[in-house]
Amino acid sequence: MSDAHKKFVSLMNKVLDEEATKEEQRLLDAHIADCSSCRVHFHELRQSADLLNRLVHPQAPLNFTKNVLDKLPADNRHAVRNWVSRHPLYAAMAICALPMSLMMIAARRQTVYRDKNGNGQFILLKMPENRS
């Protein structure tokens, strides 16, 4: 391949990459009008690019997304929610147990205070007498 030919081949590539200036495009057009080997070369290069462009874009197989999701590590984000939906009875018991235990603790404390005070008043409710 001569140097001149090489120069035109790189020009052809520029044109095919849509990066050639108008001037370069004109230069190539003028040359291939005269030079049959470059004309053939350019035609063949363009044809290769066209064939690639015409290749169909394939579709991913059916159920592809589902198959991928099945293989992912478990989604731990909804661990609590999942447990609740699997064990509704335990969940209800757990939810009721919390206020009930609070009530029991509160009741117990009331008894203790009442015992200490002796006249049925809560110590906690007693206001300070002298406020400055």
Partner 1 sequence: MEQKEKRLIRRVKKGDHQAFAELVDRYKNSVFAICLRMVGNRQEAEDLSQETFIRAYKHIDQFDNDRNFSTWLFRIATNLSIDSLRRKKPSVSLDAELPGAEGLALKELLSGGETMPDEQIVRAEMEKIIQHEISLLPEKYRSAVILKYIEDLSLKEISEIMGIPVGTVKTRIHRGREMLRKHMAAFRGEK
* Shortest distance (Å) from residue 75 CB to partner 1: 5
End-to-end CA distance of the chain: 107
Min dist CB 8 to partner 1, Å, is 13
Per the listing, tokens 């004109």 go with 26
Q: Which is nearer to partner 1, 61 or 118 (CB)?
A: 61
How far apart are the C-alpha atoms of 41 and 43, rounded to whole Å?
Answer: 5
**For partner 1, which is the closer residue by CB, 62 or 89?**
62
Name the residues that contact partner 1, by CB under 8 A: 9-10, 13, 16-17, 41, 44-45, 47-49, 51-61, 64-65, 67-69, 71-73, 75-77
Q: What is the DSSP letter of 75?
A: -
Placement of tokens 């120069």 in the chain = 7
